[in-house]
């Protein structure tokens, strides 16, 4: 089998250095998580005309594939907002006029599909809480995990671009109980099935027929994300994960161990080629 998920020796060394070096002054995390640890919400945008950005086609299909795949295994479907109903303020902290405590930070797993950049992910209508960064959630407006959010997918280009270690400076302040962000170091393509494939790898699946079946066990969340992109994205795409050290080996609840909400004083970033 071709080792498509094997990273170079240089990248392996870099990843190990990150585990040791990317440590910060200890901060105390006190998330107000609720009793239900299986809540999902998605937002997606394909129509960007109102914000002057080129439109895409498949974000709704992709995000809703993730949403329904989790719903089909018993997760509570909380919100599914698209285009004009998808608001940037749903992901922004209250300090900048946002309402993430009612939306993105009120579920355990959130998924956004649309345009992105190293410093933001983009929406199709301007609903910014304080008007500072319209049509986008800028990294400075993000603070997740105080209420509930554990894992966030940003199915958007370059949202986890390494940028000479800058990914830590940009996103670390957003980790206020959040476990992981899953996104991309590079561009990503407008696929229809990355989200549903991601769930398949998190929960495990059978292949083959009758007596010749093979069970593929559940993968850790980060590994499932990388494998989903290997399955659905071309080879010029590098998917990435940014995580607190304690949460690096999280599984989907019910399929393996899940860490407690942890401090962002130690963080890991890693990318894998599709």
CA–CA dist 147, 150 (Å, integer): 10
Domain ranges within the chain, ordered by starting residue: 9-273
Contact yes or no for 265/233 (Cβ under 8 A):
no
Backbone dihedral region for residue 256 (phi beyond 0: left; psi -120 to 50: alpha; all else: beta): left
Rounded Cα distance between 93 and 29, Å, is 16
More confident residue, 35 or 132: 132
For residue 29, what are its two tokens? 């995390």
pLDDT tens-digit series, residues 39-78? 999 999 999 999 999 999 999 999 999 999 999 999 999 9
Identify the pLDDT of residue 41: 99
Mode of pairing for the β-strands spanning 76-82 and 39-44: parallel
**pLDDT at res. 209:** 87
Count of CB atoms within 10 A of residue 166's CB?
A: 12
Residues recorded for the chain: 274
Q: Is the pLDDT of residue 14 over 90?
A: no
pLDDT tens digit string along 119-173?
A: 999 999 999 989 999 999 999 999 999 999 999 999 999 999 999 999 999 999 9
Q: Positive or negative, the Cα torsion across 239, 67, 262, 114?
A: positive
**Strand, coil or helix: what is 65?**
helix
- Whether the CB-CB separation of 40 and 106 falls below 8 Å is answered with no
CA–CA distance, 8 with 12 (Å, rounded to integer): 6
pTM (2 d.p.): 0.90
In DSSP terms, 76 is beta-bridged to 39
- Residue 41, H or E segment: strand 39-44
Closest CA to 90 of 132, 32, 136, 56: 136
Region 9-273: CATH code:
3.40.50
Question: Are the C-beta atoms of 111 and 155 separated by less than 8 Å?
Answer: yes
The pLDDT of residue 94 is 97
According to the model, what pLDDT value does residue 25 have?
Answer: 55
Structure tokens at 166: 């800058």
CA distances from residue 38 to 109, 127, 158, 219, 252 in whole angstroms, order as listed: 8, 28, 28, 17, 9
């Amino acid at each position: 089998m071709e080792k498509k998920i094997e990273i170079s020796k240089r990248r392996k060394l870099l990843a190990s250095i990150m585990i040791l070096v990317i440590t910060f002054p200890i901060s105390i995390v006190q998330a107000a998580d609720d009793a239900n640890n299986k809540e999902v919400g998605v937002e997606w945008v394909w129509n960007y005309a109102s914000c002057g950005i080129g439109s895409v086609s498949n974000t709704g299909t992709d995000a809703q594939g993730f949403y329904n795949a989790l719903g089909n295994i018993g997760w509570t479907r909380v919100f599914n907002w698209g285009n004009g109903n998808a608001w940037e303020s749903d992901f922004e902290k209250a300090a900048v006029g946002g309402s993430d405590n009612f939306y993105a930070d009120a579920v355990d797993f959130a998924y956004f599909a649309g345009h992105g950049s190293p410093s933001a992910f983009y929406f199709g209508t301007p609903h910014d809480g304080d008007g500072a960064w319209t049509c986008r959630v800028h990294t400075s407006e993000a603070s997740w995990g105080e209420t509930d959010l554990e894992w966030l997918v940003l199915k958007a280009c370059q949202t986890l671009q390494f940028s000479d270690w800058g990914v830590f400076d940009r996103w670390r302040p957003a980790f206020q109980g959040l476990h992981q962000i899953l996104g991309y170091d590079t561009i990503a393509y407008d696929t229809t099935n990355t989200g549903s494939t991601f769930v398949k790898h998190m929960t495990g699946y059978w292949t083959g027929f009758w007596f010749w079946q093979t069970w593929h066990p559940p993968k850790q969340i980060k590994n499932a994300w990388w494998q989903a992109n290997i399955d659905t994205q071309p080879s010029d795409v590098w998917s990435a994960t940014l995580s607190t050290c304690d949460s690096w080996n999280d599984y989907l609840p019910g399929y393996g161990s899940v860490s407690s909400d942890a401090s962002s004083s130690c963080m890991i970033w890693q990318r894998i080629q599709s």
